[in-house]
Amino acid sequence: IDDVRVRKYVNPEPAVNMGAEESQQSWADYFGGTAGISDSHNVAISSGDATFTGSNTITYDFQGITNPSSTHVARYDVDDDAIEPATAFNTTGTEFSNNNYARIYASDNSRFRSPTTSNGYKAQHIFRFKLGVNKSSIERLNVSWEGRSQYRQGGSWHGFTMPGGVRIWNYSSNSWEIVGNAPSSETTVSKEYISNIDDYINGDYLFLMAYAEYDNRRARILTDYVKLDLTLKCSGNLTSIPINPSNLATWDKFYASDSGAGVTYKILNASSGNVLCIINSSQANAGYDISSCASGVNSIKLYAELAANSTTQILHDWGVSWHSGYYRNGYLISCPYDTGGPANYSTISWNASLPAGTAIKFQIASSDGTNWTEFVGPDGTNATYYTTSGSIWSGHDGDRYIKYKAYFETLDVSKTPVLQDVTIGYMV
């Protein structure tokens, strides 16, 4: 009987690969809970939003201060015809007594007043605040003084507006800079500084001053409450769980929906924590292409940094998309073929398309109609494979039924091996 070559599939043969590429897959978190979050700081997850919750304001006043004080200090000077500079603070006038400190630590109409003893002299209160924070961490400062100015006439005190009566010390110009007028009736005078903050702080100290003077009359300044509010550059952050697609070909886009300007996003290498991409709020809202910056990384984390500003920053949802590729490996088991009787098997061969980095290999199993062998390679063990066309292991001879197992492999998920046909030769 002549050698007969048998094809395992009907003609024409179907091509077999490891699955066609899908156009796009994605991961998203709408913050319905914390399952998608691996870490957070100063951020609350609630009602489908991630909201910045950091507290970033420090208030300094004279509550709890007693004489003598080494932190915040208040002094008054009433017998001088010149405004004393902050540089002479330690030798200016007299420190407030415990009773006087108690009068200025709250807005309660309990005031400290210091009248001049001579006409035309200046009544001056100088307040030194010790901050204890790094200047670079201050985003803005707000100074606030509550009180009034008065002059003496006809045996009684009368309110008047002292132009430029509330001032802050500017270290850059080495002079008092006007905050506002000292009012004639109880009023709060305040001012916020968001630029050149360094000009007003030196060695942890900031000086504020209120004074009053009236030509040819005695004058006095009354302080009810004085304070300093610092807004610090506080931030919160949010990190997603690792995102590691099983058959990633290329990353596509990162996107986020937020409100409150200034959210900064980063794409992190999930394994090392290294920053791969830095993305601003506008870019994220539009969808940012991360295919280049995240190239070659198979697992990433999403990171958001929310900072304190004039509006509360809220992250509504975020996500990332990618193009999936072929699986890195797979296999195909053929249907059993009946040769019609005990057969001697000669060769196995196949036709396949193998792009660089891909491979196909085979193992064969046979049966006498009762028991099947395991899938084995050319030496009769399950540890070897047919990687090129060639002779079939003789141990299959005498069996009537035969089948093969094709193994598909790729090192590049954008490429796949393609099997067109398989031929097994035998004699009956």
pLDDT per residue as tens digits for the range 261-320: 779 999 999 999 999 999 999 999 999 999 999 999 999 999 999 876 657 789 999 999
What is the C-alpha to C-alpha distance for residues 334 and 37, in angstroms, rounded to an integer? 45
Tokens of 425: 């030769």
pLDDT at 139: 84
pLDDT at 136: 82
Decide: helix, strand or coil at residue 86. helix
pLDDT at 81: 72
Q: What is the mean pLDDT of the chain?
A: 90
Residue 242 shares a structural domain with residue 203? no
Res. 18 pLDDT band, cuts 50 70 90: low
Residue 340 shares a structural domain with residue 282? no
pLDDT at 415: 85
| Domain boundaries, position 350 | 4-20+327-427
Most confidently modeled of 39-48, 151-160, 225-234? 151-160
Residue 327 scores a pLDDT above 90: no
Stronger pLDDT, 90 or 310, i.e. the higher one: 90
How many CA within 13 A on the CB side of residue 165?
A: 31
Listed range (87-91, 110-114, 422-426) with the worst mean pLDDT:
87-91
Decide: helix, strand or coil at residue 135. helix
Residue 156 shares a structural domain with residue 212? yes
The mean per-residue pLDDT over the stretch 379-401 comes to: 97
Listed range (97-106, 218-227, 307-316) with the worst mean pLDDT:
307-316
Last residue of a domain, one of 280, 298, 324: 324
Residue 2 scores a pLDDT above 70: no
Last residue of a domain, one of 208, 232, 256: 232
The CATH number linked to 271 is: 2.60.120.260
Residue 63 shares a structural domain with residue 78? yes
Residue 320 shares a structural domain with residue 380? no
Residue 346 scores a pLDDT above 90: yes
Percent of the chain with pLDDT over 70: 93
Residue 308's CB is within 10 A of a number of other CB atoms, namely 22
User: How many distinct structural domains can be found in the chain?
Assistant: 3
The model carries a pTM of 0.54
pLDDT at 92: 87
Residue 23 scores a pLDDT above 70: no
Res. 3 pLDDT band, cuts 50 70 90: very low
Listed range (14-23, 345-354, 417-426) with the worst mean pLDDT:
14-23
Residue 254 scores a pLDDT above 80: yes
Stronger pLDDT, 120 or 160, i.e. the higher one: 160
Residue 289 shares a structural domain with residue 354? no
> 33 burial class (0-12, 13-18, 19+ CB within 10 angstroms)?
exposed
What is the C-alpha to C-alpha distance for residues 125 and 113, in angstroms, rounded to an integer? 9
pLDDT at 391: 96
The percent of the chain in helix, strand and coil, each rounded to the nearest 5, is 5, 50, 40
The CATH number linked to 136 is: 2.60.120
Residue 94 shares a structural domain with residue 134? yes
Res. 17 pLDDT band, cuts 50 70 90: low
Helix H or strand E encompassing 102: helix 98-104
Res. 324 pLDDT band, cuts 50 70 90: confident
pLDDT at 309: 63
Terminal CA-CA length for the chain: 7
Residue 182 shares a structural domain with residue 101? yes
Residue 63 shares a structural domain with residue 138? yes
Last residue of a domain, one of 175, 202, 232: 232
Task: State the DSSP code for 20.
Answer: P
Residue 246 shares a structural domain with residue 175? no
Best CA proximity match to 393, nearest among 359, 362, 351, 420: 362
Residue 413 shares a structural domain with residue 285? no
Residue 43 shares a structural domain with residue 152? no
Give 306-357 as a 3 state SS string: EECCCCCCEEEEEEEEEEECCCCEEEEECCCEECCCCCEEEEEEEEEECCCC
